[in-house]
Chain A
Amino acid sequence: MAQAAIELIGINKSFGAVRANRDINLEIGRGTIHGIVGENGAGKSTLMSILYGFYQADSGEIRVGGQPASIKTPNDAIALGIGMVHQHFMLVDNFTVLENVILGAESDALLKKSIAKARSELERLEREYGLEVDPDAVIEELPVGLQQRVEILKALYRGAEILILDEPTGVLTPAEADHLFRILGQLKDQGKTVVLITHKLREIMAITDTVSVMRQGTMVATRETRKTTVEELAELMVGRRVLLRVEKGEAEAGAVKLAVKNLTVRDTRGVTMVDDISFDIRAGEIVGIAGVAGNGQSELLEAISGIRRAVSGSVMLDGKPIDLTGAADPGELRDRGLAHVPEDRHHVGLVLAFEENENSILGYHDDPRYLKGPFLNIDAIRNDARDKIAKYDIRPADCRLKTANFSGGNQQKIVLAREMEQDPGVLIVGQPTRGVDVGAIEFIHKRLIAMRDQGKAVLVVSVELDEIRSLSDRILVMFAGRIVGERGPEATEGELGLLMAGIEHQEAAE
């Protein structure tokens, strides 16, 4: 192994009663790309935040380049040549690229000189690493992929030799992610050290030299990437064997449950987001909608589930039309057997400040089962919530706990349990496993397939191509508001990727 760029020895960190890091030892070789994987809450981000001086370790030692280092603030880390690209970008949205890059590293008390110096320095970095971005562009007008480049430039401008990236591909399209990996490869070639934190195992296999696995605050293993497999890493992460691709039989498609015809939907700005779309979903099949985020999937889901008005077109549920012009009442649709698991569970699916049992009946709270005269039947609600907790393995198993205190995967299970247990004829699911751990993903996928096998019609919208391919019986690809192709589950990732990028669509149009 190359000389160590960073050594972490016996790092401990607790937040109250939660031990986020226990006795972590880690060695990161200079000039390598080192991956750190683990489920949400395994302590990866905490560990890197300690390295970056954002948090203080309760005990333990950090060595940078062989020398013991005291990192108390991000400033200390920057001085030691450590740069970090955070999962949620640390950018000022209404500042320009240049202003963001110099923030905190201004060479002069007056901006003019600092900006002039940064401009020439940025040009050099862009040439060296292929990090092109317009230095005078305002951040909020840039796509996320470019915003991330600004974050990398920020770190390099500060002279970073060691670059930590926290879940860098979570917001990127497959093409943007590929570009990022090329940049990371170039950084490595120039002798920089890259630490990549992720829970996506394919990325680890594709780009890292070494990989360390964290589970529940401990470092469980470090492997050379070429000597390990996705299956082994998944097992190390979860602590048991995980099925990465859920087994399912052939679909037995029945009658049409949901028929969408010539549907057109505009967003709040008046831009047409869904453009004359037609498709059917039959009983007993899962239809997956693939596409890069922002190509109209969200608006499509909202229109079908009665949250957003459609401009034109029709949606038939069990042969009867849904009122699309007057903004259909989602409650009425629920009564008619259409359940909706929204994409954004925090803002649409749950009230985070509510107790778990309250969320588990939200939207069905006027069902006689949960009522006692004009009042809520608290006992019935809690018993019902306990049943769902047991059936969906929601942890912790406490129906009185505030929903915000559940992990992302368990929150998603609360929403899924609520909607699936109403026994709907049609289930619409947006991003079923966004921010959900590997173990819970397996569970959620199994439940969705079980719904299908019970003869329900299931519509899944996801930006995760793996998920779409693993779940769907038919795959529809959306690009720029239109369905640009339909494929079977055997379609290759490359084929779907081209469709998602609109390549075939454009060629056909020309």
Chain B
Amino acid sequence: MDVFNAIIQTLDSTIRLSVPLLLACLAGLYSERAGIFDIGLEGKMLVGAFAGAAAASVFHSAFLGLGMAILISVAFAMIHGFASITHRGNQIVSGVAINFIAAGSTIILGQAWFQQGGRTPALQPGERFEAITLPGAEAIRDVPVIGPIYAELLSGHSILVYLAFLMVPFTWWVLFRTRFGLRLRAVGENPAAVDTAGISVAWLRYRALICTGILTGIAGAYLSMVQNGGFVKDMTAGKGYIALAALIFAKWKPVNAMFACLLFGFLDAASIRLQGSPLPIIGKVPAQFMQALPYILTVILLAGFIGKAIPPRAGGVPYVKER
């Protein structure tokens, strides 16, 4: 039973660890499908995490925190839009700038407001999103196999976890079943076609970036208000970049994105679990190697095991109408 429990626990942490990746990956999906490369997912998550924890701590409300996280993250997405849509700037440069601003400003503001070395105060109960116990979880906990799967794996997560996974079918539906989705995909492929069809390219791309901002905001709030009890500097730790890798790995498709993020989450969870414990045959593996494993695997997977990933054709190119 120990092995079974170990598997359940690893999968449980897989889910927890993949949620921020998934939210950021779907965020990137909206903007990249609309033709805007967004390397600033990392930065938007970070400001979301900071704003969420700070607001929750000050106003003593988890939901106010989440709202603030989304608001600030969307504001940063709009900065990216202003630079890259309105002023047709280089999208990579703008994204990198946003990451720098986010990393610096969260530390400075955190220190100025809370004087805790760039941290926000530890969140109290009610200021965090608590775990939700699904109906009947306790009742069937002792049923073999199904019990632990339901009670441990599926139940007992915060609302943001369920929201993240609900976003997968929702994003698919928006993208492939609605007018907005059709236009969004079109503007990422051939903005001139959208323009001549009488639709504003800029407004459409701004709306895509609003979706991106909302999702990175939730991702940030999850990091500081669910996974952690407050904001810690640079707490995104490259998750925005891993999310971008997952997005390419998923070939810009929502359901693929979920599996890609679960895979990266699993590698992360496995590396934590296996740290220090000897493996059969290989023996003890250095912790550093296990920590590096997700990144190594990312490189290998992206380098050749996924076939040709064709990005949206207008990606990264500002739309210029006048000649």
Contact = CB atoms under 8 A, between A and B. Distances in A.
A111 B313 CA distance: 22
Contacts of A84: 196
Interface in B306-323: 313, 321-323
Contacts of B197: 74, 90, 103-105, 154
A90 B193 contact: yes
A104 B194 contact: yes
Given A90-B190, A91-B190, A95-B189, A73 B182 contact: no
A218 interface: no
Nearest to B193: A90
Contacts of A54: 195-196, 321
A108 B195 contact: no
B195 A74 contact: yes
Contacts of A91: 190, 193
Contact of B179 (A15, A55, A88, A109): A109
A84 B313 CA distance: 23
A15 B321 CA distance: 12
A356 to B, nearest CB: 21
Interface in B38-58: none
B182 A93 contact: no
Nearest to B180: A109
Contacts of B195: 54, 74, 90
B198 A92 contact: no
A66 to B, nearest CB: 24
A86 interface: yes
A41 to B, nearest CB: 11
B186 interface: yes
A103 B197 CA distance: 7
B315 to A, nearest CB: 13
Contacts of B193: 90-92, 100, 103
A437 to B, nearest CB: 18
A108 B179 CA distance: 7
A86 B196 CA distance: 9
Interface string B154-197: 00000000000000000000001111111101100110111111
A477 B189 CA distance: 37
B199 interface: yes
Interface string A92-118: 111100011011111011111010000
A170 B322 CA distance: 23
Contacts of A104: 183, 194, 197-199
B196 A74 contact: yes
A92 B178 contact: no
A140 to B, nearest CB: 10
B196 A92 contact: no
A25 interface: no
B196 A93 contact: no
Interface in A360-398: none
Contacts of B198: 73-75, 77-78, 104
Given A73-B198, A74-B197, A105-B197, A92 B322 contact: no
B197 to A, nearest CB: 3
A111 B322 contact: no
A92 B178 CA distance: 17
A506 to B, nearest CB: 36
A93 B179 contact: no
A110 B179 contact: yes
Interface residues of A, number: 32
Interface string B267-291: 0000000000000000000000000
A204 B32 CA distance: 44
Interface string A54-75: 1100000000000000000111
Contacts of A52: 196
A315 B68 CA distance: 72
A112 B177 contact: yes
B323 to A, nearest CB: 7
Interface string A215-257: 0000000000000000000000000000000000000000000
Contacts of A92: 185-186, 189-190, 193
Interface in B57-113: none
Which residue among A74, A84, A103 has the maximum number of chain B CB atoms within 10 Å of its CB?
A103
Contacts of B192: 88, 90
A102 B194 CA distance: 11
A94 B185 CA distance: 10
A111 to B, nearest CB: 6
Contacts of A102: 182
A99 B175 CA distance: 13
A105 B179 CA distance: 9
A109 B178 contact: yes
Nearest to B181: A111
B182 A99 contact: yes
Interface in A22-79: 52, 54-55, 73-75, 77-78
A111 B196 contact: no
A103 B182 contact: yes
A108 B182 CA distance: 12
B175 to A, nearest CB: 10
A111 B182 contact: yes
A99 B313 CA distance: 17
B117 to A, nearest CB: 49
B196 A15 contact: no
Given A104-B197, A109-B178, A15 B322 contact: yes
A88 B176 CA distance: 26
Pick the 5 closest A-B CB pairs, nearest first: A104-B197, A75-B198, A90-B193, A106-B179, A90-B196
7 contacts: A15-B322, A77-B198, A86-B196, A92-B186, A92-B193, A109-B180, A111-B177
Given A90-B195, A92-B193, A95-B189, 15 more contacts: A74-B196, A74-B197, A88-B192, A91-B193, A92-B185, A94-B189, A95-B182, A95-B185, A102-B182, A103-B194, A103-B199, A106-B179, A108-B179, A109-B179, A111-B182
